[in-house]
Amino acid sequence: MRDLSKDAKRQADASVKMAEEIEKQRYDTVRPVIDIELSQEPKDLMELGYSERESVLSRGLRSILINRGIGPAIDVFYHSLKDNNGTLFFVVTYRDVYGRLLESKKELIGEKGKWELGRLHTNLIRTNDND
């Protein structure tokens, strides 16, 4: 009798693990992945230009958002340059069709006026509004 209960528990655990894997695969089939690229111009921060007063540098680098995932991105919340301990990032938060909140970010790397973006990092922030 004891072996039967152990076998039943093992089978139940395997079923739960399989259900979790199927759920993950289902989510991954419709997951958006927002990538961030710099537009071709301006490549140099000084090329951003000055306002009409010529004493105020216009803020921001131009960038392009591209969905490289399969599913649509819904509620793209913001696209901003974020200072994180002196490091600059382009950050985009968005939802997938299941309502999960995701984040994509790339580090902005500058050297001698030449700007480029680092590797794309994506994170699941929240699975639903109750988290």
Q: Which of 106, 131, 108, 114 is nearest to 45 (CA)?
A: 114
Which residue, 32, 100, 89, 90, is CA-closest to 63? 90
Burial zone of 102 (CB within 10 Å; 0-12 exposed, 13-18 middle, 19+ buried): buried
The upper half-sphere exposure of residue 73, i.e. CA atoms within 13 Å in the direction of its Cβ, equals 19
pTM for the complete prediction? 0.65
Higher pLDDT, 49 or 123: 123
Length of the chain: 131
> In this predicted structure, what is the pLDDT of residue 50?
41
Q: Which tens digit of pLDDT belongs to each residue from 71-122?
A: 999 999 777 666 767 778 888 999 998 889 999 999 888 765 677 889 999 9
Q: What is the pLDDT of residues 36-66, one digit of tens each?
A: 888 765 445 444 444 444 444 345 567 788 9
19 three-class SS: helix
pLDDT of residue 113: 61
d(CA 2, CA 95): 47
Q: Where are the domains of the chain?
A: 1-30, 32-126
76, amino acid identity: V
Largest CA distance in the chain: 86
Phi-psi region of 115 (alpha: psi -120 to 50; beta: other; left: phi over 0): beta
Give the residue from 121, 99, 125, 100 showing the smallest Cα distance to 34.
121
